[in-house]
Amino acid sequence: IARVAAELGIFSVAIYPDDDATSLHTKRANASVLIPGVGAKAYLDQEAVLNVAREHKVDAIHPGYGFLSENADFAEACDKAGIRFVGPTASQLRQFGDKGSARTLAAECDIPLVPGTDGDTTLAEVKAFFAQLKDGEQLLIKAISGGGGRGMRTVETEGELAKSYGRCRSESKLAFGSDAVYVETLIPVAKHIEIQIIGDSQGQVTHLWDRECSVQRQNQKLVEIAPSPTLPDDIRQQLISAAMSMAKKVSFQGLGTFEFLLDQRNTDAFYFIEANPRLQVEHTVTEEITGVDLVQVQLRIANGETLQDLELLEPDLPSGYAIQCRINMETISSKHTFKPSGGLISVYEPPGGPGIRVDGFGYAGYRTSTRYDSLLAKLVVHSDSSDYSRAVSKTCRALAEFRFEGFEVNIPFLSSLLERPDFVIND
């Protein structure tokens, strides 16, 4: 964000609490300002953020992804303070930030939904929904707000319900400031496909194709691909049409991602699951296959430019394939369980070359904090070839070239994952 702001001639101000003072974003902005508190709670303090904005006379706030990026109250507070919120309108944030409300909109647009509840669901209601599941079916508890796999649990037996329900609510409250949850029937074998949507203030909406995010662990995405290598073209067009219809119905403004599950037991069946009215962590792969800087698009739309101004009304066909690997601060035990790692980074030498990009906050000499997310860097690889396996090979080479020392990260696991035959053929 700071890099794009500089390219557009915009002065940027970064904020940080005391325990994040050495993070890389504080060094990339034109100015950096301390805010009270520590950890995620500090970044969720709306008044502290607005105080900095007022003090430095900023005219726009880019919320990034996470923290306040989907908070409608914050968007309204920005508006009242005469500060532009870089993102959808407050009403759209309410509609899509609340997954129950988004499900209602999908139903109005005749888009298939995974069977589930709408709105904040009590434990008694969860138990009632679980009781009507068929033999062998499982339940998925999901936070109504936010994303990133937080506040989400799969439940196989009735005895797990109360504990999983409580954990989902507490995780959601900590990450998003809301403990509301709902439930869905688990689709056990599915592809996770999302459509990138862009809308302007004139009510015009377009798309930038699809991404596949099927490779996940504990409901958190690990590897993202654009476009999906094995998605049938007719299904791709149906998903784009579904996402566009929802976005057009509300005159969606800014960036949004509409997410779907393809039931692999029935390849013609797809379901809308949620929409994220913000920049996604995996927006990078869309940028690589389209050549469109999505953060620049956000800032220019927030400044009043239209899709015509941006020459995006009719998207060009995607070029080749892009793969993003999330490099997390994790250690893998002998029992194949993942545990958080961290400490002082002694060596940080990311790979380079044509089509190789690394977005991250690490550098040699930086000491990480356990109060923040485990994501250290995003390795993004683009291949112009129409042969998806070429992109996979290029990504494997880039992972092998990434030199990192100080503590364990999941690079060996990612390398092993990408070398699997089923990954190479996207099965």
What's the count of helices (H) and strands (E) in the chain, helices before strands? 15, 19
Residue 207 host element (H or E): strand 205-217
**Partners of 377 in the β-ladder:** 327, 360
**Partners of 16 in the β-ladder:** 34
What is each CA distance from 203 to 110, 197, 246, 306, in whole angstroms?
21, 12, 12, 9
278 is catalytic: yes
Q: Which tokens in the block code for residue 144?
A: 């109504």
User: How far is it, in rounded angstroms, from Cα 348 to Cα 354?
Assistant: 20
Cβ–Cβ under 8 Å, residues 28 and 7: no
SS (H, E, C) 338-399: EEECCCECCEEECCCCCCEEEEECCCCCCECCCCCCCEEEEEEEEECCCCHHHHHHHHHHHH
User: How far is it, in rounded angstroms, from Cα 52 to Cα 352?
Assistant: 37
Indicate which residue of 278, 326, 390, 397 is catalytic: 278
Q: Where are the alpha helices (DSSP H) in 153-257?
A: 161-176, 233-249
Q: Which tokens in the block code for residue 32?
A: 């950096």
**Beta-carbon count within 10 A of 238 CB:** 15
Q: Which tokens in the block code for residue 410?
A: 């999941």
**Beta-carbon count within 10 A of 158 CB:** 11
Q: Which tokens in the block code for residue 242?
A: 């579904």
Q: Hey, which residues are catalytic here?
A: 278
